[in-house]
Structure 1
């Protein structure tokens, strides 16, 4: 139990389903109670088996959908989706809605229910077309029946070298929190977790910053994993996942949370 006045945060691992090594690592951390939950990428061929393995763990953690609209073959068409720059330029709301429907339906098929939360790979859930899709898709649900949404980034708890990146993400998310609350969604946040993953050892330093400075209620994203051939084929963000895995799996991690008077959220507030 957190002490009176302690902060609580969501610590959410992105990219469940990205590769076998990423998924296994996330399951291990969830089973240990070192994460609040994970966001799932449902578009890859081995999704069904990875979903079954995640469901088998049980426990008090949130399972959400990590909506993916860039770079990979779309569930809805099989064609490779655009990179983020092209996606931002196109704003093809119909195509985005069809693909989002397909990924959500695949999540529901695996778990028999909606995701507890929805966020986006490369923050695509902030896009106007996705905002519209969310409002339409869940229009018939009460607030308590809807997934919560990951909110806009904050400049608090941001390492100096990535502040420019966070400013860009904040521009993409402009108006998101207020707009989606008007549509009846719970928006959790603000979003933290940005760091320069290209620099060896950067995650450990950033994790200290997140734990000391993240606002109460923040959603801290992380990307732990074990690098395998599948991940190397799909992403350039590889070796830093080992650093995240080792830091979050360590016996020192719960003690560091305690010293920061920080508690991990387990269910939506």
Structure 2
């Protein structure tokens, strides 16, 4: 029996080079889909480029609450108009120093930009730096999608995919505690298990991690990745740079295609 897995690229819309790399891999059939960051000036152009793939590729919303300009401008969430680093987000939100209404307004704005540009709701929702696991975002998801019939699929909590990355996975899992169960009870479908987490400062770890997922990830399991090409826009916006070229090269390679064939594994497309 053929085992099928999901490969989802994060960060579509972050920079033109990232978009180009993801579109290339979608065209090659090496990705199930991608999640989109909608807050940048180039979003309308990026959306127009991926819009023809609706239905064939899974196109989701990559909720962003850290490190980038806020769509809604200055607020308690982004006092200077820029979203805070992750380390400066979670505790202030939990302790009430950030107004929940400002967080929800920013998420509403990003969601609206997605729907306006693509003419449909996202196929799924996840979060930049996993912010969708935060309680304030869980609350937004329940409020934004009151009808269970129209709720998007959510990316679930991580599985232990690499012993070397165990501390990082454990930290994410702590924030995600109870997410799968509570959101399923609320009527959301959850994609799980999640694999693909590793220390991106060690790009040589990506290929063996992907190979291990091909060999062992459960049917319909999810592997997250961050492929793309480095350009000046990316260098100005995000520290995760050269590793994106490494991930792109591995995913586009004949060796990866051969590993899928050997394992009897297929990559799900966006219709499944």
TM category (shorter chain) comes to: over 0.9
Q: What is the aligned counterpart of 2:170 among 167, 170, 195?
A: 167
Shift of 1:261: 2.1
Structure 2 counterparts to residues 106-255 of structure 1, below 5 A: 106-142=113-149, 145-155=150-160, 158-255=161-258
Q: What is the aligned counterpart of 2:65 among 57, 65, 69?
A: 69
Equivalents in 2 of 1:165, 1:212: separation in Å?
A: 22
Equivalents in 1 of 2:43, 2:252: separation in Å?
A: 24
Which residue in the other structure is 2:107 paired with?
100
Q: What is the aligned counterpart of 1:86 among 84, 88, 97?
A: 88
Shift of 1:17: 0.5
Aligned partner of residue 201 in structure 1, secondary structure: helix
TM-score by length of 1: 0.93
The answer to whether the Cα contact below 8 Å between 1:31 and 1:59 also exists between their aligned partners in 2 is no
Aligned residues: 261
TM-score by length of 2: 0.92
Q: What is the aligned counterpart of 1:54 among 42, 50, 55?
A: 50
Equivalents in 2 of 1:38, 1:200: separation in Å?
A: 20
The answer to whether the Cα contact below 8 Å between 2:148 and 2:188 also exists between their aligned partners in 1 is no
Q: Is 2:41 aligned against 1:34?
A: no
- State the superposition RMSD in angstroms: 1.5
Q: 1:81 to 1:215 in 2, by over 3 A?
A: same
Shift of 1:31: 1.1
Which residue in the other structure is 2:78 paired with?
none
The answer to whether the Cα contact below 8 Å between 2:55 and 2:271 also exists between their aligned partners in 1 is no
Equivalents in 1 of 2:21, 2:65: separation in Å?
A: 24
Shift of 1:253: 2.1
Structure 1, unpaired ranges of 5+: none
Q: 1:200 to 1:108 in 2, by over 3 A?
A: closer
Q: 1:7 to 1:212 in 2, by over 3 A?
A: same
Shift of 1:58: 5.2
